[in-house]
Amino acid sequence: MNFLFHFGRYTLFLGKVFARPQKRKLFWDSTFREMVTLGLDSLPIVAIISVFIGAVATIQTASNIDSGLIPLSTIGFATRESMLLEFSPTIIALILVGKVGSSISSELGTMRVSEQIDAMEIMGLNPANFLVLPKVIGLMIINPFIISLSIFLGVVGGYLATVSTGVITVSEYESGITLDFYPFDYVYAMIKTVVFAFIITSVPAYFGYFVEGGSVKVGKASTIAVVYSSIVILILNYIITQLLLL
């Protein structure tokens, strides 16, 4: 019941969001601004996490491969594949839900309870379209760059780990990260990235947009938004993976 209610209202909300902007120039201006803010906002945390996870994944794989039967190039290969297929597109998406999603939700929630959204509506503007579409499109454009960077930095992190610990040689690591590379894996990762960007922005925007009450409710909406967006991302991750990789 609750789920159906939200699903129905979310669908109608998307209808309002994906209307034609009042002025094309204003739309692209704010989309560009959102790209810069969302991108710059998330870059530092994404960079730090990616380097460390890449390094740790590499050391973990290395520490499990000591039998001599498995080629050492597997280490670099494992780092690349886990960053590319799952860590960067999915786990970073979950982190962005907490960072970008919750701030979108509280921004819109605050605008709702202080009647700023009503003020736009009364002027004859479509606030859902004006406020939300630039965020959705902005993150869908910028997220593939963020995630590609994350994959790259993860692999760099692995490289730094091998160099500093000396578990394998640099050339063994390098042969691993170039081993058996299927471009489709990258396409798969980017498809997830774009879909998740849509969820990270539109679901929290929905919960913020329909806040009723005061500032306490804004905080609650933001929490609920993070939970729902994360679950939706996990489910979609499974569905997309089954459809594309099986």
Partner 1 sequence: MIRIENLYKVYGDREVISDFNAVLDKGINNLIIGASGSGKTTITKCVVGLTEPTKGRVLFDDVDFFSLGRKDRAEMRQLIGFMFQGGALFDSMSVEENVMFALRVFTNRSYAEMKKRVDFCLDRVGLSGVNNLMPDELSGGMVKRVAIARAIVMNPSYLFCDEPNSGLDPQTAILIDELISEITHEYQITTVIITHDMNSVMDIGDHVIFLHQGQKWWEGSKKEILDAKNEQLREFIYASSFMKSLKDLQE
Under the criterion CB under 8 A, does residue 22 sit at the interface with partner 1? yes
Indicate the residue among 11 and 22 with the shorter CB distance to partner 1: 22
Confirm or reject binding of residue 40 to partner 1 (CB under 8 A). Answer: no
Task: Say if residues 39 and 22 touch (Cβ distance below 8 Å).
Answer: no
Binding flags for partner 1, 220-239, as an x/- string (CB under 8 A)? --------------------
Q: Rule CB under 8 A: say whether 121 interacts with partner 1.
A: yes
Q: Which of 8, 11, 118, 164 binds partner 1 (CB under 8 A)?
A: 118
- Binding status of residue 1 toward partner 1 by CB under 8 A: no
- In angstroms, rounded to a whole number, what is the distance separating the alpha carbons of residues 119 and 104? 19
174 binds partner 1 (CB under 8 A): no
Nearer to partner 1, 23 or 187 (CB): 23
What's the token pair of residue 231? 């679950």
**Using only C-alpha atoms, what is the Rg of the chain?**
21
Q: Which one among 12, 23, 171, 182 touches partner 1, defined by CB under 8 A?
A: 23
Task: By CB under 8 A, tell whether 126 contacts partner 1.
Answer: yes
Task: Print burial letters for 166-180: b (CB count within 10 Å at least 16), e (below 16).
Answer: ebbeeebbbbbbeee
Tokens for 102? 């919750």
12 binds partner 1 (CB under 8 A): no
* Interface with partner 1 (CB under 8 A), residue from 12, 40, 48, 122: 122
Considering only 1, 4, 69, 123, the residue that binds partner 1 (CB under 8 A) is 123
**Residue of 9, 115, 187, 215 interacting with partner 1 (CB under 8 A):** 115
Q: Is 215 near partner 1 (CB under 8 A)?
A: no
- State the residues that interact with partner 1 by CB under 8 A: 22-23, 26, 110-111, 114-116, 118-119, 121-126, 130
